[in-house]
Amino acid sequence: MHLLAAILLFLGLSLASLYVFPSGQPQPADFLLLGFAVLMSLLALTDRGRVLSSFVICWALMVLWVLLVSLGWALVMERTSFFIYPAFFFFNFLVGMALLRFLGVSGETGCSLIRNAISIALLIAASQVLLQLGAGANRTTGSFNNPNQLAYFSLCGIVILMLLDDFRPPLRPLMLAGLVAAVVSILAASSLGAMGGAVLVGLGWVVANLDRLRRFARLLLVAPLILVVVVMVNLSSDGQVQSNLQSRMDRAPDKVENAYEERKYDRLANFPEYAILGAAEGERRRFYPYHSSEIHSSYGNMLFAYGIPGFGLFLTVIFLALHRAPLYVWMGVAGPLIYSITHNGLRSTLFWMMLAICWHLYRQGWREYRTPAFAPPAVPESERYTRSSS
DSSP for 96-153 reads HHHHHHHHHHHTHHHHHHHHHHHHHHHHHHHHHHHHHHHTT-SS--TTSSSHHHHHHH
More confident residue, 126 or 215: 126
Which pLDDT score is estimated for 254?
62
Let me know: does 148 contact 191? Beta carbons within 8 Å.
Answer: yes
**124-138, 190-204, 288-302: which range is least confident on average?**
288-302
Q: Which of 115-124, 209-218, 367-376 is predicted most confidently?
A: 115-124
pLDDT average, residue stretch 345-360: 96
Could you tell me if 168 and 208 are in contact, meaning their C-beta atoms sit under 8 angstroms apart? yes
Q: Which of 74, 175, 184 is nearest to 129 (CA)?
A: 184
Q: How many CB atoms lie within 10 A of CB 390?
A: 5
**In b/e form, how buried is each residue of 370-387, taking b as 16+ CB within 10 angstroms?**
eebbbbbeebeeeebbee
Q: What is the mean pLDDT of residues 48-63?
A: 89
Among 257, 255, 135, residue whose Cα is nearest residue 188: 135
Of the pLDDT bands very low, low, confident and very high (cuts 50, 70, 90), residue 233 is confident
Q: Is the pLDDT of residue 382 over 60?
A: no
With a cut of 50, say whether residue 378 has pLDDT above it: no
Return d(Cα 284, Cα 216) in angstroms, integer: 50
pLDDT of residue 255: 61
Nearest by Cα to 181 from 247, 238, 128, 218: 128
Please, which pLDDT band fits residue 386 given cuts at 50, 70 and 90? very low
